[in-house]
């Protein structure tokens, strides 16, 4: 099978919200953008010379509405089934996030007040229910879905055999992609310690490039250095009692 090519599909701004097109024997779409962006993604897939009806699968990386917002619409437009992890199934079926967000830093706390994070969309049931590592060869690409819980319980990433990691919100760039090249946390994580453990597990697989939901691609070595610093910082917060490992890395008010 031919190598898998990863193409960013901007949904909002140049890098503020990204979906991705994976090209192999058949195309696969990763993430479905914000509500109402299905036609935009469909048309941008077409602009890359791909017939959207050839799309074999839509992989949703996690249960936040800026990543699954147009999954049902895009599935109708392409005829492709949707893959999502069982741990985020309740969110997909509800079409919205019902649990409180756990913001990170000043930007996260400000962003948590936005009505956009509470936006609802058309619900769906994933046809392909992910429970563990899942090969995508049957869908036409040399890649595998990897569970990477922490950002949400059902977060997943897609790792191609060529080393491209499509990471959803496992890591981001500052201010939803507005600062190029620098790793950062997204505005929220359900479990900061768990997410960091997932990120370090993916880095141990030696990816060649990291494609994120918010921002331009990141260099894995730079992400690795950032992750080590973040681990030391979170360990200090745990030691001081300001971050609680027992309940998913939640913080006391005011911690960043």
Residue 254 above 70 pLDDT? no
Residue 256 above 50 pLDDT? no
> Is residue 116 domain-resident?
yes
> Is residue 256 domain-resident?
no
Residue 246 above 60 pLDDT? no
What is the DSSP pairing of strand 82-85 with strand 128-130? parallel
Residue 88's pLDDT band (cuts 50, 70, 90): very high
Residue bearing the bigger pLDDT, 229 or 243: 229
Report the CATH number that the domain containing residue 218 is assigned in CATH. 3.60.15.10
Q: Give how many domains the chain has, as a whole number.
A: 1
Residue 251 above 60 pLDDT? no
pLDDT tens across 63-78, in order?
A: 999 999 999 999 999 9
| Per-residue pLDDT at 178 | 75
Residue 255 above 60 pLDDT? no
> Is residue 183 domain-resident?
yes
Residues 1-30, mean pLDDT to the nearest whole number: 94
Domain that holds residue 50: 5-251
Residue 253's pLDDT band (cuts 50, 70, 90): very low
- Please report, rounded to a whole number, the percentage of residues in the chain having pLDDT higher than 90: 81
**CA 37 – CA 23 distance, rounded (Å):** 21
> Is residue 47 domain-resident?
yes
> Is residue 56 domain-resident?
yes
| Per-residue pLDDT at 1 | 59
- Indicate the burial class of 177 (C-beta count within 10 angstroms; 0-12, 13-18, 19 or more): buried
pLDDT tens across 123-165, in order?
A: 999 999 999 999 999 999 999 999 999 999 999 999 999 999 9
Residue bearing the bigger pLDDT, 108 or 198: 198
**CA 57 – CA 75 distance, rounded (Å):** 9
Residues 53-71, mean pLDDT to the nearest whole number: 98
pLDDT tens across 170-225, in order?
A: 999 988 777 888 999 999 999 999 999 999 999 999 999 999 999 999 999 999 99
């Amino acid at each position: 099978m031919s190598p898998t090519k990863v193409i960013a599909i901007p949904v909002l701004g140049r890098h503020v919200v990204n979906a991705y097109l994976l090209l192999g024997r058949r195309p696969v779409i990763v993430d479905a953008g914000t509500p109402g962006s299905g036609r935009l993604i469909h048309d941008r897939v077409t602009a890359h010379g791909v017939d959207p009806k050839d799309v074999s699968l839509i992989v949703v990386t996690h249960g936040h509405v800026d990543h699954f917002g147009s999954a049902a619409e895009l599935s109708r437009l392409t005829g492709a089934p949707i893959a999502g992890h069982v741990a985020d199934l309740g969110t997909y079926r509800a079409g919205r996030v019902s649990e409180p967000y756990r913001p990170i830093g000043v930007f996260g706390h400000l962003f948590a007040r936005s009505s956009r994070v509470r936006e609802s969309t058309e619900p769906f049931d994933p046809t392909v229910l992910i429970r563990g590592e899942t090969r995508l060869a049957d869908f036409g690409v040399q890649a595998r879905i990897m569970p990477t819980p922490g950002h949400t319980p059902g977060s997943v990433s897609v790792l191609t055999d060529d080393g491209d990691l499509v990471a959803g919100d496992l890591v981001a760039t500052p201010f939803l992609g507005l600062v190029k090249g620098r790793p950062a946390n997204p505005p929220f994580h359900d479990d900061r310690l768990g997410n960091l453990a997932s990120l370090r597990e993916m880095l141990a697989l030696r990816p060649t490039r990291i494609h994120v939901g918010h921002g331009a691609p990141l260099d894995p070595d730079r992400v690795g250095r950032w992750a080590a610093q973040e681990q030391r910082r979170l360990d200090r917060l745990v030691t001081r009692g300001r971050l609680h490992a027992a309940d998913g890395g939640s913080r006391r008010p005011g911690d960043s």
